[in-house]
Chains A and B, each alone.
Chain A
């Protein structure tokens, strides 16, 4: 298994500002992902964070709005840029472990409220 921590756990931000969310894993992982969980809705995959290269974004998500970094095998950041109230959501990182591609482990999430 993997232990995943996220910072911050929650934040309240003003419209037009940006927030960077950190995801730290206690072991080296092959794959890291960022999801969004909007109130009353399902988890939606934002992007796959690739170590040492640009993230791979899903349809509807772009790098300018959600820049992602992954400098090593245990750490990634997601920035929510130029925020609007529609960005209010829970942001979760998840990881797959080598040899366990059928399983993903989720972090506790970051609750974001944009005013």
Chain B
């Protein structure tokens, strides 16, 4: 069983929709939770970073962490065609983001 499981997708939504991306994990030691966005033929870029449980909002993006359920989510409001990309969740037990465990990614397409 993988340490991090991500809803596989792919996901296709109309422009303006609310998107929910989700991951579950099994390692209770994970304390740092990240979401990356990866455009085709590019490296991942960090979108959101959350420590422990709770919500974090940044513009149209909201990250939620529920450590009791070992479940994290990324919500995208008013989705735009430019949001079309693969979204990767990642988690680490220590402070070094570089030693993260990644989900397999969910590919999102936002149609105009």
Contact = CB atoms under 8 A, between A and B. Distances in A.
Asked whether A and B interact, the reply is yes
Interface in B65-112: 88, 90, 95-100, 102-105
B42 interface: yes
A31 B98 contact: yes
B99 A42 contact: no
B102 A42 contact: yes
Contacts of A107: 43
Contact of A104 (B4, B6, B100): B100
A40 B104 contact: yes
Interface of A, secondary structure class, is strand
Contacts, number: 62
Given A31-B96, A103-B49, A109 B43 contact: yes
Given A106-B45, A109-B43, A42 B103 contact: yes
Nearest to A43: B102
Contacts of B105: 42
A101 B97 CA distance: 6
A94 B88 contact: no
B103 A101 contact: no
